[in-house]
Structure 1
Amino acid sequence: MKRNLYLNVQDKETALQNFLSAFEDISPKKEWIPVTESLGRITAEASYARYSSPSYNSCAMDGIAVISSHTKNASEDCPVLLAPEKDYLEVDTGDMIRPPYDAVIMAEDLIEAEGGFRIIAPTHPFAHVRAIGEDIVTQEMVLPSHHEIRAIDISVLISAGIHEIPVIKRPVVGIIPTGDEMIDYRETPEDGRIIETNSWMFQNLVTENHGVGRRYPIIKDDPEKIRSVVSDAVQDCDIVIINAGSSAGRDDYTVHAIRDLGEVLTHGVAIKPGKPVILGKVQGKPVIGLPGYPVSAYLTFVEFVVPVMHLFIQQNARPPKRV
């Protein structure tokens, strides 16, 4: 098989724009999952509260629930003695406040006395009381769409009575490492052998960008085997990455596999490192050949795989760090 020559090397912006334009029909899909398993997922639509929180008027402090009008004349010069049940009930934080009691006095502000508690300052209705819906009101929007769910959001959702939530389905990214010289990391490297690590980097980069990585076994430099695995991966995945074999070597078969199965949109981009990247389309799905050199692999993943993943989740890329 003859060498792959870069006949039409494109600048990065043009290559990326043409690549994304080829998949304008891609749109996010929705799935429902338990709220308790939703950390890091992206909401597909807004969620609205089923319950108010709190759902009743509750004590915000430990102390006594009082009838506020019975405290209006209290002062340091003229303390007021409050009698149990007649004027107050002892309460703890979170207890329900029931009429005729309408306020709470903190335990720290009470003076124990025979027959009850003395107070030296008046209080007012709803002092130290959490009113119904103070945190969340029924039918209030709890989370907007396209929001990345945080740990604190899960607590709020549960408080609002939301048990399942619609989230954007994560794209499945097939990762196919290739190369006669590549071995599994659990094997001992000998002369001429290299531990394959890129696929693990890709899998975790996929996870960081709201996708699901599906690693395939290392494929030898055999054009038929590569073509067969790519064909199977396209059936099972939303995006397929073929790592290594993208350059102009005698055993670089990635571009031929993509061309045989679909269409090569770009082979060669004017970036260094990363020039040999291949951007293709097979059965309407993005298929990307990434160089084997780890720095090139990382750079081209960030520049080309991440943007196409964002088509599936409608999420903007995080701005790069600048120094």
Structure 2
Amino acid sequence: MNAAGLMPVDQALDYLLSNVSLVDQTEDVDLNSALGRVLAEPVVSVVNVPPYDNSAVDGYVIGNDSVDSKDALELSVSQRIPAGIVPSRLKAGSAARIFTGAEIPEGGLAVVMQEDCEIADHQVVVPAGISAGQNVRKCGQDIRSGEVVLNVGHLLQAQDVGLLASIGVAKVRCFRRLKVAVISTGDELIEPGEAPAPGKIYNSNRYTLVSLLQRLGCEIIDLGIVPDQLDATLDALSSASREADLILSSGGVSVGEEDHVKVAVQQLGALDLWRLAIKPGKPLAYGNVSGTPFLGLPGNPSAVFVTFAIIARPYIEKAQGRRSRESARMKVPVGFSVKKAGIRQEYLRVRLIEKEGQLILDKFPNQSSGVLSSASWADGFAVIPAGKTLEEGDLAEYLSFAGLGI
């Protein structure tokens, strides 16, 4: 704890990640539905890719008697080899017309690009100095049979799905999706599409969290808005604990008289962590409801975005069985100053821009925890450690949203 009784971010993360309950159920997933899923077992190729030596270009394939010649050679064209056709052995002293991706015939050692050849009737003139292996893609140069292509915990991206298709895989064994119950609290909240009313605000947190969870590949149990009443909060949390692997709430974990989530969690389970040295987002809570893990995020929209990205996201990724990863971190000069050292580690919403030929971080002018437009404008966070000040041009750690997967 720091001097203000707040747990530092790194300490809180270490604690949370050491207490993650991993999803252990698995299921077979069709390749067309595999994007964003996490592998539960390694994928081993049973084929070579490519399965045979093939041509990298349209041209003419030549053999041992024609490569490394010091002079241009005039050769007869003995066969035509389009892709998908099994060729005959290359006749000695001849060349074969070949197309990109087509199999190199037995006896073929190199392919000459058609642009480098002269063609007349059934003869082709190939230039001197063609070396063995030129423009030939060797069997297994991409993947070897028996090779582990992707390992346990790998998050499947579009290129991975294509890679799996290239080795003939139609289904993959993946971890079951994490079921996350989302609860929004606050009598002041109304849903988009409803008419504005005095004292009411639109519920942005619900849509931010659902979208972030969708991005992480979770199965979402949306419990909507819960009134600021203890009984209603107890009912919602109890219901969520029976259905979900993780309960994620926004609001209600501060110390106000209408903040009932913290009290309800303590009645139904336990609160193990509360109040972090993070800005925005100090009133963040972690515990369990009848044994189901619970993460209570603050109510302010920017605080929800920051605490999800920094705290909830790595917890959820690990719970889904995803292999741990290092987020892309870089030091970048700031185009602003931080004059007052804070007692909490701050995550400023910033944008990477070019100024006078140098990349710098530009800060959104209003960093209030209630200003969600700062997160929409930005493309990352500038991390300002507790007790740190900055002058313009100083280096700060930059975490891009893309690198965080949000």
1:66-105 alignment, distance < 5 Å = 66-70=62-66, 75=71, 79-85=72-78, 87-105=94-112
More strand per residue: 1 or 2? 2
Give runs of aligned pairs for residues 184-223 of structure 1, distance below 5 A. 184-223=191-230
* TM-aligned CA distance change 1:101 to 1:293, over 3 Å: closer
Number of aligned residue pairs: give it. 311
8 Å CA contact 2:46, 2:146 repeated in 1: yes
Can you give the 5+ residue segments of structure 2 that lack an aligned partner in the other structure? 79-90, 330-380, 383-395, 397-406
Q: Distance in 2 between matches of 1:245 and 1:144?
A: 40
Distance between the aligned counterparts of 1:246 and 1:141, measured in 2?
Answer: 46
Q: Counterpart amino acid of 1:290?
A: L
CA contact (8 A) 1:173 1:214 kept: yes
* Superposed displacement of residue 15, structure 1: 5.4
Structure 2 residue matching 1:216: 3-state secondary structure: strand
Name the counterpart of 2:385: none
CA distance in 2, matches of 1:152, 1:60: 21
Please point out which of 313, 324, 349 is paired with 1:315: 324
**In structure 1, distance between residues paired with 2:70 and 2:307:** 74
CA shift for structure 1 position 48: 1.6
Larger Rg: 1
How far is the alpha carbon of 1:168 from its aligned partner? Answer: 3.8
Code of the aligned partner of 1:188: A
Equivalents in 2 of 1:214, 1:235: separation in Å? 11
Asked whether the equivalents of residues 74 and 80 of structure 1 are also in contact (C-alpha less than 8 Å), the reply is no
Aligned pair in 2 of structure 1 residues 123, 172: CA closer, same or farther (>3 Å)? same
Q: For residues 172 and 110 of structure 1, do their structure 2 counterparts lie closer, same or farther at Cα, with a shift above 3 Å needed? A: same
Match of 2:47 in 1: 51
* Separation in 2, partners of 1:92, 1:16: 55
The answer as to whether partners of 2:226 and 2:233 remain within 8 angstroms in 1 is: yes
Over 3 Å counting, the alpha-carbon distance change for 1:263 and 1:317 in structure 2 is farther
CA distance in 1, matches of 2:131, 2:310: 61
Mapped contact 1:178–1:244 kept (Cα < 8 A) = yes
| 1: CA distance, partners of 2:95 / 2:12 | 75
- State percent identity of aligned pairs: 28
Structure 2 contact 67–110 (Cα < 8 Å) conserved: no
Report the more deviating stretch, 8-17 or 90-99: 8-17
Alpha-carbon separation, structure 1, partners of 2:158 and 2:277: 42
| SS of structure 2 residue aligned to 1:263 | strand
Q: How does 1:62-211 map to 2 (within 5 A)?
A: 62-70=58-66, 75=71, 79-85=72-78, 87-121=94-128, 123-211=130-218
For structure 1, the residue ranges without an aligned partner over 5 or more in a row are: 1-7
Tell me which residue corresponds to 1:248: 255
**Deviation at 1:228?**
1.4
Offset, 1:195: 0.7
Structure-2 separation of matches of 1:71 and 1:307: 56
Q: Which amino acid aligns with 1:161?
A: G
Contact 2:68/2:132 (<8 A) preserved: no
Q: Structure 1 residues 49, 184: CA separation in 2 closer, same or farther (over 3 Å shift)? A: same
SS in 2 for 1:84: strand
Q: Aligned pair in 2 of structure 1 residues 225, 317: CA closer, same or farther (>3 Å)?
A: farther
Listed as ranges, the matches of 1:283-302 within 5 Å are 283-302=290-309
Conserved? CA contact 2:177–2:218, under 8 Å: yes
- How far the C-alpha of 1:291 sits from its partner, in A, is 2.5
Q: Partners in 2 of 1:242 and 1:134 — Cα distance?
A: 50
Q: Distance in 1 between matches of 2:66 and 2:255?
A: 90
Give the AA of the match of 1:82: L
User: How far off is 1:279 after superposition?
Assistant: 2.3
RMSD of the alignment, in Å? 2.9
> CA 1:101/1:299 → structure 2, altered by over 3 Å: closer, same or farther?
closer
Residue 27 (structure 1) aligned with residue 22 (structure 2): yes
TM-score (norm: length of structure 2) = 0.67
1:227 Cα deviation after fit = 1.4
* Closer/same/farther in 2, CA of residues 136 and 289 from structure 1, 3 Å limit: closer
Bigger relative contact order, structure 1 or 2 (CA pairs below 8 A, ≥6 apart): 1
The answer to whether 1:11 aligns with 2:7 is: yes
Contact 2:67/2:132 (<8 A) preserved? no
